[in-house]
Every structure is written in C-alpha cells, then in structure tokens.
Structure 1
Amino acid sequence: MIRIDVSKIKNWELIKEKHSEWYYKKIFPQIGIAIEKIEKKYQDNESNQKVTYENQDIVKRYIDLLKKIKSEGKKFVIKENLFFDYKIDEINFLSKIMKKEKKKKSILEEMFLLFKINKKYLPHKLFSYDEFPNHTREWNRHKLLSLTEIEICPYCQRNYISSFEENDDKRTTADLDHFYPKSLYPFLALSLYNFIPSCQICNSRFKGTKDTYNSVYPYEESFDDLGAKFKTSKEIIYEILGEKDSEFFVNINYGNLKDEDNKKVQNSVSNLGLDKVYKKSHNQYIKDLLDNIEKYPEKYLESCVEIFDEYYKDDIKKEIVIKYFIDIIKEPYRKRIENGEPLAKLTKDIFDEFKIKI
C-alpha cells in the first residue's frame, strides 16, 4: 500500500473547493432540518414509558453527531480529521448503531421506528453516496478522480487506474472506494478524505464492506513508512538463477514491527488480499529482474568488450564498462521506483533483499 500525498496532487485545492461547494448546495441544507425534526420527536418521547434511557441515549448521540457536522458548514466533507475529537469507544458506538446489513435494520433504524422519526433523516439517507453524480453534471465522480491524476491503485500498486475522455466528458477506469465503508460509517459516505481511487480488484473483489478502522490509512501512511516489505526466499531465487526448476513465494514481511503497526498492516493485507495476489503472480517479473541484473550482463558485456577489444584490453577498463552497462540495465527499474509505477515497491524491496544498489 502506498501513501496518497495530497501535497503532490496539483489540483487538490480545486477538488476540495468543488466538492465542498457541491455538498453545501446539495446535502447541507437537509442536516439542519434533520436536527430540528429529530429533536422534536425526541422531546415528544421523553416522557414515554416505553422509551428507555438507553433508547434515548442512542438518539441523543446521533443528534450530537449531526450538530457537530452542521457546525463545520461546507468544510465537513473536506475535513482531514474524519472522526472529529471522538475517542475509539464513541467511534465504535456510532459504527455499531449505524451498521447496515442486507435485509436487517440497524439499531438506529429501530430507534427511528420507536420514536416515529422519518427514515429520510437516517445517516445513509442524509449522506447518500447515490446523490453524488457519476457523470454528466458539473461536479461528479469521474471529474474528481480525473483531477487527482492518480494512475496507480494505492492499495495494491499493481494495476493502472486510467483517466480518459469520452464525448467531451472526463471518464476513468478507477473505482472510488470508501476507505471506511458506508455500511458502518454512513456519515462519511461523501467525505473527500474517505475516498480512495482504486482498482476494481482491490475495491470489489477483496475489500468490500470490511471494517478498516484499525488498518493502514493511505492519506497518512504507507507500508514503506511503517517498514513492511515484500520478501522472497533468497536460496530458492538463487536456485532459479542457476536454472533449477523451483517454486518460490512472495511474502509481506511485517513481523518485526511494533504491535500497533503490525496489527494495522496485518489487517490491510487481509482486507485487500495482498498476500494472495502477490504470492506467486509476479514470479516471472522477479526472475527476469534478477536475471537481467545478476546473470545476463556479465555474459553480454564480455561479448561487447571482445568486439571493442582494441579499446578495452586491460581489466580495469573492462570492469568500468561492465559497471556502466549494469547501471544502464538498472535504469528502467530505477525509473519504475521513482515514478511509483506498478510493482515499484516490490521492485525496491527485491533490490534491498538481494543488496543490489539502485
């Protein structure tokens, strides 16, 4: 997983401006109405003997959340601190009461029925992602994704997520994933810092609606920042370079991290299936990389040196030429790492493992 560094996204301020304006015009007016309507029903039921203190507390805490959101005005959907000043217990509580499962009502929905509150004021209705246009309007999902100019999936760094134009409109192959899933955190369904441009495999095939609260958050950190690395078996790789038929596996090594970071990386690997998609998928790429740098250059360069034998007769000059040519072979891999292209981290970690200077 790689970090999304917004300081390097040249259109980030424009994205924030467009997104907050759209939210303030389309969504924000309903929040004040919701607070007023819910509070009235809450007060009407305070003396109702069928309504327990626990029931009242659930509705009261939801009202308090809406008031916090309203106080932020148009800035709410572009806040970096998604959870305000809430502690983990309060975040877990909100997630628990809002959890939306198929064919089942959330706890908050049950409270709305009990208090006879209109369901349109539920968080998954107030902050409905369906209200965010897919295309054809002034501000939409495709325009947002295109303006980020993120071309590689930050989750796996394996797949391109390209933008293109069609019928004079911006389009993209990327999914717009909700890092904190809508089913658990519906009030974050429209928050910019909860949007992760991603490939369909990461978003739909693996991550889905899994809770990601205690996992690596791409707007703050990456596997590199925490010290997690791809690793192979050195002995088996050298067997392959010796042209023996052996299988090998790519692992994500994070066992030496401190407990908190270890758990976050473990959760991210599991949620995104990274251990599965990297296990053997890129074996040929790794083999070719090591072949190109460790095996082919010496033989090829010896042939080159023989062609220019009259210029490179002494061993010192020959070594200089060999070293120079190896640097040329490394250049595409160096560019891959510098540009953050697909498999950049895997490439960097393989170089580190085999002590190959890049």
Structure 2
Amino acid sequence: MIRIDVSKVKNWELIKKKHSEWYEEKILPSIKKAYNLLSKKNKNDSIKEYKELLKKIKNKGKNFVIERELFLGYNHDYLLDLIKKLNNTNISENYLPHKLFSYDKFPNHTGKWNRHKLLSLMGIQVCPYCQRNYISSFEENNDKRTTADLDHFYPKSLYPFLALSLYNFIPSCQICNSRFKGSKDTYNSVYPYEESFDDLGAKFKTSKEIIYEILGEKNSGFSVDIDYENLKDEDNKKIQNSVNNLGLNKVYKKSHNHYIRDLLDTIEKYPEKYLESCVEIFDKLYKNKDKKERFIKHFNDIIKEPYRKRIENGEPLAKLTKDILDEFNIKI
C-alpha cells in the first residue's frame, strides 16, 4: 500500500473548494432540517446522542466533508454502536445517516461536480492499495472519465456519516475495491492519507536461496511474502489487517514470478552474458583497462535505468521491484 501525499496533488485545494461547495448546496440543508426536527424528540438516549453528532456536523458547515479528522473526536466503537442503535428508534428513515449522507446523491458523471471530475483532478495514476494496476483518465462525450473506483476507506455501510467525506475517498482499482475490500471494517489498518507499507517498514520478500535457482536457470517455483513480523505490535496489526482486507498476500504470492525472474535475469545475468559475447570488441576498442571498466559501468546503468525509473515514479510494482532488489543486495 502506498501513501496519498496530498501536498503533491496540485489540484487538492481546488478539489476541496468544489467538494465543500457542492456539499453545502446539496447536502447540508437536509442535515440542518433533520437536526431541527430531532430537537423536538428528546426522550430516547440514542436520539439525544445522534442529535449531538448532527450538531457537531452542522456546526462545521461546509468544512465537514473536507476535514482530515474524520471521527469528530468520537471513539470509533461508540460510533459503530450508535449507528446500530439508531435502527431501533422511531426516527424517520429520511433523517438517518445513510439517507442524509447518501453517496447516491453524489453524481457519477453529470453536473458541475461529480465523482469522475474529482478522480481526474486527483491525478492518482496507480491504485494506492495494491500498486499493481494503473488508473487512467480519459474523455468521453467531452467529459472527464477515469478507470478508477472511488472507494470509501471506512465503509459507508458502517460509517454512513463519512459517505461523502473527501479524506474517506480512495481512488482504487476494481479488484481491490470490489473483489477484496468490500465493506470490511478498516479502522485498525493502514490509512493511505497518513502512511504506507514503506513508512511502517513492511517489505516484499522471496527467499535468498531463490536467486541462485533463478540465475542458475532452474525452473523452480517460488512465492512472494509480505514481511512485517518484526515490526512493533500496533504496526504489525495494522499491516496484517490491510493485507487480509485487500487480499495482497493472495495477489502478490505468485502472480509476478515471471516479472521477478526477468528482473533478476536482466540485471544480474544479461549484462554478463552480453559483455562476454563482446569481449573481442572490447579488447580492440578498449585496451585501456579503465576505459573498459567505465564502459561496463555505463552499460550496466543503461540496463538498470527502466527499473530505477519505475521505482522513482511510483509505477505499478515499484515497491515489489525495490524490495526484491534490496533483498538480494542489488544496487541500482
């Protein structure tokens, strides 16, 4: 999982402005109305607690959906319990969180502000959850579209009041969003707006013995694991939850073996083979030993450059590439 650094999203302030203005116009009036009507009902403790939640949200105005602090100072278990209890009250469904903050009210690709415009302005090009799949933007019928899903990090089924919050939106690939994550509770897991697997020290690894099999041209199978066992308990648990929620241990285990073979073969084996075949040319052109070594170094740099760029640009499989090279102590 990689971190979404909003300081590097050049349109972030514009996104916040557009999203908060849309919320103020389309959603906030209904929240104010619900709060005023519920103020007349004060016998039920659950209703009183819900009124306090709505009051905090109402008082924040249009800024509620663009604040980084999502839980308004509440304990997460308390909020989960409150949402459950509300279903057993006599409150009209129209005033319950899943209706007031309905994600269905946020247009998909119509109107001045919609999901695809938000995703396009974010400019996230790789799924932050798996870093395996590209996210592409394109135009259709003179409108912005993307191939990304707009995932709710905290599921709207469990946290309906966060269904429209900007910092709860994660541009993601469909595999991560629909196939694996779904509506699982992600409270105690890695939150992409704050941290990444790299930040916490989790790494992909194979087996140090496997390089000898790969470079020795043995056709043996191997698997990729995510190593986080030696991290402190709280980080270990967050990473474990993220791995399980997103199926990362499944999609990385053997899916990219061919890529890893090519990576190691290209960097460690191909240059040696190529240089051996050119030895006669080297002897003629570079009788000076220093010149020959400089040429060899330059050639090796050319071979490694695509992988270096992949890592620097955060392209798909960038972390896998970096971690596997680090595991085998290959410098690029």
> Residue 50 of structure 1 aligns with which residue?
none
Q: Which of residues 137, 143, 146 is equivalent to 2:117?
A: 143
Matched, 1:110 2:88: yes
Letter matched to residue 62 of structure 2: K
Report what 2:40 is aligned to.
40
Once the 2 structures are TM-superposed, how far is the Cα of residue 303 of structure 1 from its aligned partner? 2.5
Q: Is the 8 A contact 2:189 2:241 kept in 1?
A: yes
Check the 8 A contact 1:250/1:278 in 2, yes or no.
yes
CA contact (8 A) 1:163 1:172 kept: yes
The one-letter code sitting in structure 1 at the alignment partner of 2:232 is K
2:58 maps to 1:70: yes
**1:159 equivalent in alignment to 2:144:** no
Aligned to 1:25: 25
Task: Specify the alignment match of 1:95 in structure 2.
Answer: 80
Q: Say which SS state the counterpart of residue 310 (structure 1) adopts.
A: helix
Give the gaps of 5 or more residues in structure 1: 47-55, 99-105
Residue aligning to 1:312: 286
Aligned to 2:209, the other structure's residue is in SS state helix
Tell me, in whole angstroms, the C-alpha distance in 2 between the residues paired with 1:32 and 1:97. Answer: 19
Shift of 1:354: 0.8
Q: Does the 8 Å contact 2:41/2:47 carry over to 1?
A: no
CA contact (8 A) 2:214 2:265 kept: no
Task: Measure, in 2, the Cα distance between the counterparts of 1:265 and 1:295.
Answer: 34
For 1:295 and 1:264, the matched residues in 2 are separated by: 38
Distance 1:5 1:180 in 2: 18
Which of these residues, 156, 159, 175, is aligned with residue 201 of structure 1?
A: 175
1:340 aligns with 2:314: yes
1:32-89 deviation per Cα after TM superposition (whole angstroms, max 9, x unaligned)? 11111112122xxx3xxxxxxxxx3222111111011011111000000011222xxx
CA distance in 2, matches of 1:218, 1:225: 11
Q: Report SS of the residue matched to 1:171.
A: strand
Aligned letter for 2:11?
Answer: N
2-structure distance, mates of 1:240, 1:356: 15
Q: Which amino acid aligns with 1:3?
A: R
> Given the alignment, which residue of 97, 100, 122 partners 1:123?
97
Query: In the alignment, which residue of structure 2 is the partner of 1:83?
Result: 71
Distance 2:55 2:237 in 1: 33
What is the Cα-based RMSD across aligned positions, in Å?
A: 1.1
> Structure 1, residues 10-48: CA drift from partner, whole Å, max 9, x if none?
000000000000000000011111111112122xxx3xx
**Over residues 180-224 of structure 1, what are the superposed CA-to-partner deviations in whole Å (9 max), with x where a residue is unaligned?**
000110000000000000000000000000000000000000000
Q: Distance in 1 between matches of 2:323 and 2:301?
A: 18
3-state SS, counterpart of residue 155 of structure 2? coil
Confirm whether residue 14 of structure 1 aligns to residue 19 of structure 2: no
Consecutive unaligned residues in structure 2, runs of 5 or more: none
**What is the SS of the residue equivalent to 1:334?**
helix
Q: What is the DSSP-based 3-state SS (H/G/I as helix, E as strand, rest coil) of the residue aligned with 1:221? A: coil
Partner of residue 220, structure 1: 194
Cα contact 2:50–2:82 (8 A) shared by 1: no
Could you tell me whether the CA contact under 8 Å between 2:137 and 2:146 is conserved in 1? yes
1:49 aligns to what?
A: none
Counterpart residue identity of residue 340, structure 1: G
Matched position secondary structure for 2:36: helix
Q: Quick one: distance in 2 between partners of 1:301 and 1:39?
A: 81
* TM-score normalised by structure 1 residue count: 0.91
Aligned amino acid, residue 309 of structure 2: K
Provide the TM-score with structure 2 as the length reference: 0.98
In structure 1, what is the equivalent of residue 275 of structure 2?
Answer: 301
Cα distance in 1 for partners of 2:13, 2:278 equals: 53
DSSP-derived class of the 1:40 partner: coil
Query: AA paired with 2:65?
Result: V
